[in-house]
């Protein structure tokens, strides 16, 4: 059973582990709360599938997970949620594209909040932080940064309540700025004091020109390994073989 516990981030003061079902229920409740506040689209009988509520939920969830676990674990969880949907629910490709794009916007928001509060402890479960996440997601929805249904629609069906369309565009996802192939990332020190050496980051096998054989070999290399046992560089490499 998947749990969403804090990954020893000393800037976050909540370490309560959640099961996958509990996490899903919390995200749905939060989506409903903020739908009532901002007025984005919700389907019949409160459906949050393939509509503006769905787009909000994916971005909100990934921002939350980026704050709680870190960007790479959030990305892996989001990707494998889509793989599970493809395997068990015959998810349409357009739905996957929509979800992964909105996930990337959510991680962008999570990192933006980290930078804005870099000298503070961040509790992503606090009402204040959840309000900040929701506002930033709603702003990007109004600005046309989210994909709002599988057809690729970017404009909300009606103007959201109390939201301006102007957003901070310093951070952009790959889908906004195009593939950058591979590039070198300088070494750095994590919040817990761990030294990370420099490494090469790629935007993914499909984008960097990796052959199918190379991608499969890379996937086999990391098959059965636990995410928490990998270094930052290994995590970056591992996920590049699956996107």
pLDDT at 17: 56
Please give the pLDDT value at position 48: 86
- Contact in structure between 106 and 145 (CB atoms under 8 Å): no
Q: How confident is the model at residue 212 (pLDDT cuts 50, 70, 90)?
A: confident
Instruction: Output the average pLDDT for the chain.
Output: 77
79's CB contacts (< 8 A; 6+ apart) are 100, 103, 239, 242, 243
**pTM of the full predicted structure?**
0.64
How far, in Å, are 21, 108, 173, 190, 195 from residue 111 at the CA level?
25, 5, 12, 14, 20
- Cα dist. 74→106, 122, 140, 207 in Å? 10, 16, 19, 20
CB 241 within 8 A of CB 219: yes
Where are the chain's structural domains?
1-173, 179-243
What is the spatial distance between Cα 127 and Cα 104, in angstroms, rounded to a whole number?
23
What is the per-residue pLDDT for 171? 40
């Amino acid at each position: 059973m998947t749990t969403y516990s804090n990954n020893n981030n000393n800037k976050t003061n909540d370490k309560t582990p959640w099961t996958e079902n509990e996490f899903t229920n919390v995200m749905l409740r939060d989506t409903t709360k903020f739908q009532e506040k901002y007025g984005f689209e919700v389907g019949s009988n409160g459906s949050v599938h393939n509509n503006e509520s769905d787009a909000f939920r994916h971005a909100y969830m990934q921002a939350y997970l980026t704050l709680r676990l870190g960007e790479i674990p959030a990305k892996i969880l989001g990707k494998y949620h889509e793989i599970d949907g493809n395997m068990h629910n015959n998810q349409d490709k357009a739905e996957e594209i929509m979800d992964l794009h909105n996930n990337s916007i959510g991680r962008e928001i999570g990192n933006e909040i980290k930078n804005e509060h870099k000298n503070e402890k961040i509790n992503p479960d606090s009402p204040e932080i959840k309000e900040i996440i929701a506002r930033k997601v709603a702003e990007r929805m109004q600005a046309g940064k989210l994909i709002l249904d599988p057809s690729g629609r970017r404009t909300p069906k009606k103007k959201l309540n109390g939201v301006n369309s102007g957003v901070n565009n310093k951070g952009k996802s790959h889908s906004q700025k195009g593939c950058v192939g591979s590039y070198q990332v300088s070494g750095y020190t994590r919040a817990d004091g761990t030294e990370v050496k420099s490494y090469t980051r790629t935007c993914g096998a499909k984008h960097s020109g990796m052959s199918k054989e190379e991608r499969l070999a890379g996937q086999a290399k990391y098959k059965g390994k636990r995410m928490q046992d990998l270094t930052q560089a290994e995590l970056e490499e591992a996920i590049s073989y699956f996107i």
